[in-house]
Amino acid sequence: MPATPVLASFRRIVVKVGSALLVDRDKGRLRRAWLAALAEDIGELTTKGAEVIVVSSGAIALGRTVLGLAKGALRLEESQACAAVGQIALAGVWAEALAHEGITAGQVLLTLGDTEQRRRYLNARATLAKLLELGAVPVVNENDTVATAEIRYGDNDRLAARVATMAGADCLILLSDVDGLYEASPRERPDAKLIDIVERLTPRIEKMAGSPTSEYARGGMRTKIEAARIATGAGMHMVIANGYHTKPLKRIAERGPCTWFLTTSTPRAARKTFIAGTLEPKGVLVIDAGAVRALESGKSLLAAGVKRIEGEFARGDAVLIRGPGGREVGRGLVGYDAEDARRILGRSTEEILSILGAGARAEVIHRDDLALAAL
């Protein structure tokens, strides 16, 4: 059996908080003391040097109390209206709770396209990276007011896994209302055993999550297993733990009951594999010998080193990179549309600023978005 991961060893952690933890189910009121303790937990992680991203539900739950729609199922427009009202409150309470720990919060609202379309993916990724660099904790939710049935995640478990992938996190924590994954539904079989570690997502594990219609699955284990598939595939470990305890992150650190899903990869390696293998290149960048050497020493690809551009592509698309002799040097996600890339080809960083204006980036492909071919 592999060892349980040590929480303090992770550098970038995404913590997903479900509505039921934040908002009292009966009264629809915020669970303030619990949130304050969780913020303290987060503060302890950041003090130890980890970067933390929060994915928080609760907008709809908070909004329905305010709008007097507390009872019964909501229609789509009603839940959107509730989210519009509740999200303001949600962002406010997070900002306040984190500020108490000396942490600045930044609200990030995403829709499906922000993680699924490559151009927007790069934009959202850059914003999250900048917030973390500036020492802020991003507090993410789905932009429920504009997300309609076809373009929504619908659940924050998968949203959290996508955000964690996008941010290159090495750990995803799903705070839930159960201790973790059980061999059988604990509601049907009170003696069911909690699984400590899942090394691989097998059909047997999926079965334990229950069928989509079972009572247990509605508790959300199904979407949590899907989140585990996304997270472990993207090179991070994931843990499901019971959030109802005061300071649930401390409880995970102290090896309280929970279920870990392990990855065999790292975020960096998984991203390189994804760039190298799964994406169809839309164009070719031919670069000079100096740029080849720069890439091979771990640098980004600058416009100055690009000699020629072939094909039509958009920012975020995969492109092939060829050296002077035509040899494939690698592949990467390009930071510019083909049209802009052609305008800045061979230019220095200052020239790029005067051609494309402020906000232009020097890198045509950032080193994090590069996968070099084996030499």
Window of 56-64, 67-75, 237-245, 327-335 that interacts with ligand GLU by CB under 6 A: 56-64
Question: Per-residue contact track with ligand GLU, 122 to 141, x per CB under 6 A?
Answer: -------------------x
Q: Is 332 in the site for ligand GLU (CB under 6 A)?
A: no
Q: Give the residue from 123, 234, 118, 81 showing the smallest Cα distance to 168.
A: 234
Per-residue tokens: 349: 């960083």
Over its C-alpha atoms, the chain yields an Rg (Å, rounded) of 22
| CB within 8 Å of 346: residues ≥ 6 apart | 303, 304, 306, 307
Q: Is 317 in the site for ligand GLU (CB under 6 A)?
A: no
Q: Which residue type, as a one-letter code, is found at position 21?
A: L
Count of residues in contact with ligand GLU, rule CB under 6 A: 13
Q: Is 58 in the site for ligand GLU (CB under 6 A)?
A: yes
Q: Which residue type, as a one-letter code, is found at position 63?
A: G
Q: Which is nearer to ligand GLU, 142 or 179 (CB)?
A: 142
Task: For the CB of residue 57, give the shortest distance to ligand GLU in the complex, in Å.
Answer: 3
Task: For the CB of residue 168, give the shortest distance to ligand GLU in the complex, in Å.
Answer: 23
E strand residue ranges, 231-279? 237-242, 258-261
> Residue 42 in contact with residue 101, Cβ under 8 Å?
yes
Task: For the CB of residue 62, give the shortest distance to ligand GLU in the complex, in Å.
Answer: 8
- Return the residues of window 64-93 that contact ligand GLU according to CB under 6 A: 83
- Distance, in Å, from the CA atom of 291 to the CA atom of 97, rounded to the nearest integer, reads 47
> Residue 221 in contact with residue 182, Cβ under 8 Å?
no
Q: Give the residue from 260, 244, 221, 254 showing the smallest Cα distance to 38.
A: 244
Q: Give the residue from 303, 283, 308 showing the smallest Cα distance to 346.
A: 303
Window of 51-59, 104-112, 267-275, 319-327 that interacts with ligand GLU by CB under 6 A: 51-59
Window of 59-67, 286-294, 302-310, 360-368 that interacts with ligand GLU by CB under 6 A: 59-67
> Residue 248 in contact with residue 178, Cβ under 8 Å?
no
Q: Which is nearer to ligand GLU, 115 or 156 (CB)?
A: 156
Question: Per-residue contact track with ligand GLU, 141 to 180, x per CB under 6 A?
Answer: xx-x----------xx------------------------
- Return the residues of window 177-216 that contact ligand GLU according to CB under 6 A: none
Q: Which is nearer to ligand GLU, 115 or 141 (CB)?
A: 141
Residue in this structure with the two tokens 């416009």, named with its chain if needed: 303
- Binding residues for ligand GLU, rule: CB under 6 A, are 18-19, 57-61, 83, 141-142, 144, 155-156
